[in-house]
Amino acid sequence: MHEPTTAAVPAYVADGPEIYRRSFAIIRDEADLSHLPDDAHDLVVRMIHSCGMVDLAADTEISPGAVAAAHSALAGGAPILCDAMMVASGITRRFLPAGNDVVCTLNDPDVPAKAALLNTTRTAAALDLWMPLLEGAVVAIGNAPTALFRLLELIEAGAPRPAVVLGLPVGFVGAMESKAALAAYGSLEHVVVHGRRGGSAMTVGAVNALALGAQQ
């Protein structure tokens, strides 16, 4: 405990590992994870940790094979394909079990022209550059519903299939619908938070949890 030097700043825990331990204990005490696969609990605890909301678990849907598929893909060196630079930036590189590549194609110079041609967002157009990497990859979509819709369209059209899709776009227009479409798709291993919640921090928490799990 860091002791106060003045009345304006209270005593606080300043030991990083102890903060993690206490946080995870609070989450496991308060969150109801019983409807989720047993091997997904560590994952959901870190997703909750990223957003401060234990009721996130109630909106979370994880396909039964998703966590094992992600661990196996990551241990085997699969790349992590991210829709947003913030997602790519947040992934803790030392957690990755095989020096996995973390890829975000959003700022590729070809993307604006491709978005205009396809009449879609830059984030969705950036996915076309994933094609050579998509087979067996870990896909982490934490920002744009259009990216998740585009992924499903590409797979419908015969694109290679990723090992698992983290479908966690956030927001008010299309986010809920894109996540429902992924969960209903049927043949893709997936991690979804239904509704409006999601985002890059939660997606990073999920990738980091899966990477740590793959190291074990």
42's CB contacts (< 8 A; 6+ apart) are 209, 212, 213
Instruction: Verify binding: residue 9, a copy of itself, rule CB under 8 A.
Output: yes
Give the range of 36-44, 70-78, 128-136, 191-199 binding a copy of itself by CB under 8 A: 191-199
- Check residue 51 for interaction with a copy of itself (CB under 8 A): yes
CB of 111 to a copy of itself, least distance (A): 12
How big is the site for a copy of itself, counted in residues (CB under 8 A)? 56
Stretches 70-78, 95-103, 106-114, 117-125: which one binds a copy of itself (CB under 8 A)?
A: 117-125
Nearer to a copy of itself by C-beta: 52 or 77? Answer: 52
CB 178 within 8 A of CB 84: no
- CA pair distance 189, 191, nearest whole angstrom: 7
Q: Using the Cα atoms of residue 200, residue 44, residue 103 and residue 181 in order, give the sign of their dihedral.
A: negative
- Per DSSP, what are the bridge partners of residue 139? 81, 165
Which segments within the chain are labelled E, that is strand? 60-62, 80-82, 102-103, 138-141, 164-167, 190-193
Calculate Rg over the CA atoms of the chain. Answer: 18
User: Which 3 state secondary structure label does DSSP give 184?
Assistant: helix
162 binds a copy of itself (CB under 8 A): no
Residue 95 in the binding site for a copy of itself (CB under 8 A) = no
Using the minimum distance from each CB to a copy of itself, give the nearer residue, 131 or 184: 184
Q: How far is the CB of 12 from a copy of itself (least distance, A)?
A: 5
Helix (H, G, I), strand (E, B) or coil at 194: coil
Q: Verify binding: residue 3, a copy of itself, rule CB under 8 A.
A: no
Give yes or no for a contact between 163 and 78, defined as CB atoms under 8 angstroms apart. Answer: yes
Task: Quote the crossing angle between the two packed helices 41-51 and 200-215, to the nearest 10°.
Answer: 150
Centroid of chain to Cα 30: 22
Maximal CA-CA distance, the chain: 64
2 given a catalytic annotation:
no
Near a copy of itself by CB under 8 A, which window of 33-41, 61-69, 121-129, 158-166?
A: 121-129
Residue 170 as a binder of a copy of itself (CB under 8 A): the answer is yes
Considering 49, 71, 190, 194, which one is annotated as catalytic?
49
- Residues at the interface with a copy of itself (CB under 8 A): 2, 5-6, 8-10, 12-16, 19, 22-23, 26-27, 49-53, 85-86, 89-90, 119-122, 124, 145-146, 149, 152-153, 156-157, 170-175, 177-178, 181, 184-185, 195-201, 204
Q: Which residues are catalytic?
A: 49
